[in-house]
Amino acid sequence: MLAEFNIQRPDDSLRQKAIDKIDNLNKPKGSLGRLEDIALQLCLIQQTLSPKLKHPCHLLLGGDHGIEKEGVSQSPREVTWQQMINFTKGGGGVNMFCRQHNFKLELVDMGVDHDMSSYSAIKDCKIGWGTENFLYGPAMTEVQYLEALETGASLAEECIDEGCNILSIGEMGIANTSPSSIWLSLMGEIPLDDCIGAGSGLNTKGIEHKKQVLAQAVDKFLADYPDPSDEEIIMYFGGFEMVAAIGAMLKAAELKTTVLVDGFIMTACALAATRLYPECQDYMIFCHIGDESAHRKMLEVMDAKPLLSLGLRLGEGTGALCAYPIIESAVRMINEMNNFQNAKITKYF
């Protein structure tokens, strides 16, 4: 394994005490549903019966994909850099939700095919001017893969050093549903056609073309790598922004920090991260199931239950940001609700 992180599952010895505290809040047992599950998870991650949310941060990672040149996306490549610039002006969906929920937003150029150096609000971590076209060979080299992974880890660590204990991650990269679909197919052992959807809005003819292109790419890959490792799959098809997201997720788990997982692309990154280190899933809260047809299959592969189903397919981490108030409610529940004894209410179960 090329990636090296020291990830430990949360100490489970606090579980029963946390369950007892939740069950003794003045409510019918289990009546606050998923809020109770989230509160328990946060207790275990933070190793306390009174969890807190501190300095929430959102990493928005941008990168372009060589496979876009094959017409697999409704959106043209230049939308990546145009949207990244739009984010610097506060005009994106991600900006709105970060402002609403008081997240620090960090814009990062991991591999946008455009010179972003004049925009001081965008952190320059460019590894390349987009990945190579994986229809003809690997999207990135091993050196680039490790650089992207380490960069993502460093970005997460910087947030955590500032006091962050809950991190969300989003992406901006035209055509990144293509590698996500292939990752799901190869790692989840699901037929490729069942993993491919409309992305940013392909019609039926466009989806069929996308299926043909991705099938050809996978056939070539498996001819060259008949028994591929998970990291070979990640490197061959992934984007720089996606690998950086994996690195950020793994570092957050190593540092016992909660990770909010957004829609199809970020769930693909979470799937890849858990294939490398299964323990990291204990630190993830899955926030939203989107309209991409294979997203439900991906969540099922991970046995993950999303909090929201709002029909979102914007990306940028917007589904994770929308779910944040629910997580805040879970924290308020365990910290602010009275218990039966103090409220002098008969405990009836």
Enumerate residues 6+ apart whose C-beta is below 8 A from 23: 29
- 3-state DSSP assignment of residue 222: helix
- Out of 36, 68, 147, 316, pick the active-site residue: 316
- Distance CA(210)–CA(196), nearest Å, equals 8
Neighbours of 164 (CB within 10 A): 23
Q: Enumerate the H helices of the chain as residue ranges.
A: 15-23, 33-46, 78-88, 93-101, 142-161, 177-188, 204-224, 230-237, 240-254, 264-276, 295-301, 318-336, 340-343
Q: Are 217 and 7 in contact (CB under 8 A)?
A: no
Q: How far apart are the first and last CA of the chain?
A: 50
Q: Is 314 buried (19+), middle (13-18) or exposed (0-12) by CB count in 10 A? A: middle
Asked if 316 is an active-site residue, the reply is yes
Spatial contact of 133 and 72, defined as CB atoms under 8 Å apart: no
- Other Cβ atoms closer than 10 A to 26: 14
Residues marked active site are found at: 316
